[in-house]
Amino acid sequence: MNPEAAMVPAILETGDGVTAVAHPNIALVKYWGKRDESLILPATGSLSMTLNLYPTTTTVRLTTRAPADSVTMNSRPAPRQTHLRVERFLNTVRAFTGRDERAVVETTNTVPTGAGLASSASGFAALATAAATAFGLELDPRALSRLARRGSGSACRSIFGGLVVWHAGTGDGAAGDRSSYAEPIDAEGLDPALIIAVVDPAPKAMSSREAMRRTIATSPFYLPWTTVNATDLDAMRAAVARADLDAMGEIAERSAFGMHATMLAARPPIRYLSPLSLSVLDRVVALRADGITAYATMDAGPNVKVLCARTDATRIAAAISAVGQHISTHVALPGPGAALLPGGGS
Ligand code: DP6
Could you count the other beta carbons within 10 Å of the beta carbon of residue 218?
15
Q: What's the gap between Cα 262 and its chain centre?
A: 20
Lining ligand 1 with CB less than 6 A are 27, 30-32, 40, 46, 120, 152-154, 208-209, 299-300
Cα 59 to ligand 1 centre (Å) = 23
- Tell the residue nearest (CA) to atom 7 of ligand 1: 152
135 DSSP assignment: T
Backbone dihedral angles phi then psi of residue 62, each to the nearest 5 degrees? -95, 150
Which atom in ligand 1 lies closest to the alpha carbon of residue 40?
Answer: 5
* Residue from 28, 85, 154, 273 whose mutation best tests the ligand 1 pocket (most atoms within 8 A of CB): 154
- Tell the residue nearest (CA) to atom 5 of ligand 1: 153
Greatest pairwise CA separation for the chain in angstroms: 73
pLDDT band at 108 (very low <50, low <70, confident <90, very high): very high
**What is the percent of the chain where pLDDT is above 90?**
89
Looking at the predicted structure, is the pLDDT value of residue 1 above 70?
Answer: no
Backbone dihedral angles phi then psi of residue 192, each to the nearest 5 degrees? -85, 160
Sheet holding 46-50, edge to edge: 25-29, 46-50, 163-166, 182-184
pTM higher than 0.75: yes
What is each CA distance from 199 to 111, 120, 218, 319, in whole angstroms? 14, 19, 29, 14
* Residue from 31, 165, 180, 236 whose mutation best tests the ligand 1 pocket (most atoms within 8 A of CB): 31
Which atom in ligand 1 lies closest to the alpha carbon of residue 121?
Answer: 2
Q: Quote the CA–CA distance of 251 and 329 in Å, as a whole number.
A: 23
Which atom in ligand 1 lies closest to the alpha carbon of residue 46?
Answer: 18
pLDDT band at 202 (very low <50, low <70, confident <90, very high): confident
Q: Tens digit of pLDDT for each residue in 41-64?
A: 999 999 999 999 999 999 999 999
- For Cα atoms 10, 66, 156, give the angle at the middle one, nearest 5 degrees: 95
Concatenating the DSSP letter of every residue in 18-43 gives EEEEE--EEEEE----EEETTTTEES
> Which residues lie closer than 8 Å to 95 by C-beta, 6 or more apart?
none
Q: Tens digit of pLDDT for each residue in 225-254?
A: 999 999 999 999 999 999 999 999 999 999
Average pLDDT, rounded, for the chain? 93
Could you count the other beta carbons within 10 Å of the beta carbon of residue 68?
10
Q: Quote the CA–CA distance of 218 and 134 in Å, as a whole number.
A: 41
Cα 50 to ligand 1 centre (Å) = 14
Which atom in ligand 1 lies closest to the alpha carbon of residue 259?
Answer: 1
Nearest alpha-carbon partner for 185 in 160, 148, 155: 160
pLDDT band at 346 (very low <50, low <70, confident <90, very high): very low
Q: Quote the CA–CA distance of 31 and 178 in Å, as a whole number.
A: 18
| Contact predicate 329/1, CB 8 Å | no
Exposed (0-12), middle (13-18) or buried (19+): which is 170, by Cβ within 10 Å? exposed
Which atom in ligand 1 lies closest to the alpha carbon of residue 155?
Answer: 2
Which atom in ligand 1 lies closest to the alpha carbon of residue 153?
Answer: 5
| Contact predicate 57/73, CB 8 Å | no
Structural domains present in the chain = 5-186+336-340 (3.30.230.10), 192-332 (3.30.70.890)
- Tell the residue nearest (CA) to atom 4 of ligand 1: 299
| Contact predicate 35/156, CB 8 Å | no
Concatenating the DSSP letter of every residue in 48-95 gives EEEBSSS-EEEEEEEESS-SS-EEEETTEEPPHHHHHHHHHHHHHHHH
Range 94-109 average pLDDT = 96
